[in-house]
Every structure is written in structure tokens, then in C-alpha cells.
Amino acid sequence: MDKQSSAIRYLVLQFEVPLDIVGYAFAKAKKFGSTTVLNPSPMRPIPNKLIEQTDIFVLNELELAQVVGLTNLISSPEKAVKVALLWRERIGEKTIVVTLGENGLVAIQGNQVIRQSAQKVAKVVDTTGAGDCFCGTFVALLHKRYPFEESLAFAQKAAAYSVQRKGQAYRSRNWEYSTSTKQKEARHENDSLESGNRRPHRANLV
């Protein structure tokens, strides 16, 4: 990583590796001006230093509840927004993305709250790796300089696609094929978010 850090624009890590390695990698990335993305899964206490080194947090509703010490589940997007804002008061002005399953997602970026409805899923077959699929797609599109909200919407599409098929590796291969052969169609569908019924909702923080 020392030789390649200057070329890394985004670095995304999870808690499936030791915390000291995550901290070391983020410190190197920040030194070279990279954007750091943390998906704290499986959840464990997040050291203050690592919070300082993180630009974007991607969590699900259970992880958000755990990180603020709630014992009850977050049951709605409105509740998720309140809890995310509470957490941000503690950690500083970070970007926070909270995935809510069938309730879509909420995100806080700068002074804006973003709400997006979930993608329709005909039948849930296997949810293994859906969060990884969302996070990877989201960061990949940010790296390709897609707008933040469009990256979120497309990541939801990828995750929704993934849960309708059995086997993570199989789904990943087919999603790659689908996105490469239907790029124009996918972009058209994303553009429709700006004018259709699932238009992302944005509100300024007061």
C-alpha cells in the first residue's frame, strides 16, 4: 500500500480484519488525501481515532442502533434519521449512510438528509452478501465520479438484484454481466428517479 497510496481515491474497509490494520490503512489513505469509507460490520466499538480517520460510514439499521447504544430496533426511516443525526453530533460532520432493507435508506451528507425508497424485489432468495454488494457498488460508482445520490440509488439496485438469486459469487458474476450489457438501460432508469415516483427526497438540515 505504501507504493500505491497516492493512486487510491477511495478506500473501503470492514471489521472482518483487525482494527489495528483498519486504522493503519486509513491513516495511510488520509495521508495521501483519499476518501475513507467504513462499513463497521461485524459491529464492535469504534475507536475515536478511527472515527476521526473515516469520511463515510455505511451501516444498516441494527449497526446504527448498536453504535449509539440503543436496545430497541430502529423501525422507520424517520427514526433512522433522528438516530443518525444524534450520532453525528457525537462524531462530527461525517457522511452517514444507513440501509434499511425494505424501507430503503437514509443518508446524511453535509447539511442535507437524503431518503430513498427500496427497490422492488419479486422474491428474496438469499440475502448473503447483500450489504457487501451495496457498499461495493456505492463506492465503485463514487470512484467513477457518479453523483452521490445516483450512486446510492444504483447500489440499491445492485443489492436488490443480488438477493433474488442463490449464491454470492453467482450473483456477482451475473450483476457484472448485466451492468456491462445494459449500461444505457440502467442509466436511463436511474435518470427516471429524478422525475418518477421513487424520486430521492432531500431536505436541508435546520
**How far is 204 from 9, CA to CA, in rounded Å?**
28
**How far is 39 from 11, CA to CA, in rounded Å?**
11
C-alpha dihedral sign at 185, 121, 99, 112: positive
**How far is 134 from 99, CA to CA, in rounded Å?**
9
Over residues 79-89, mean pLDDT: 97
Helix axes 148-162, 168-181, angle to 10 degrees: 130
**Which of the following is catalytic: 20, 126, 132, 191?**
132
In the three-class reduction of DSSP (H, G, I as helix; E, B as strand; rest coil), residue 167 is classed as coil
pLDDT at 202 over 60: no
Nearest to 161 by CA among 188, 142, 134, 180: 134
Query: Topology of domain 55-204, per CATH?
Result: UDP-N-acetylmuramoyl-L-alanine:D-glutamate ligase (3.40.1190)
2 given a catalytic annotation:
no
The more confident residue out of 147 and 5 is 147
Confidence of residue 162 (pLDDT cuts 50, 70, 90): confident
Over residues 175-201, mean pLDDT: 49
| Res 131: pLDDT | 87
| Res 176: pLDDT | 52
Q: Name, in order, each residue with C-beta under 8 angstroms of 35's C-beta and a sequence gap of 6 or more.
A: 9, 10, 11, 55, 56, 142
pLDDT at 69 over 60: yes
pTM score: 0.80
Confidence of residue 146 (pLDDT cuts 50, 70, 90): very high
| Res 52: pLDDT | 97
With contact defined as beta carbons under 8 Å apart, do 67 and 43 qualify? yes
SS (H, E, C) 12-30: EEECCCCHHHHHHHHHHHH
| Res 181: pLDDT | 45
pLDDT at 31 over 70: yes
- How do the domains of the chain map onto residue ranges? 55-204
Phi, psi of 17 (to 5 degrees): -120, 160
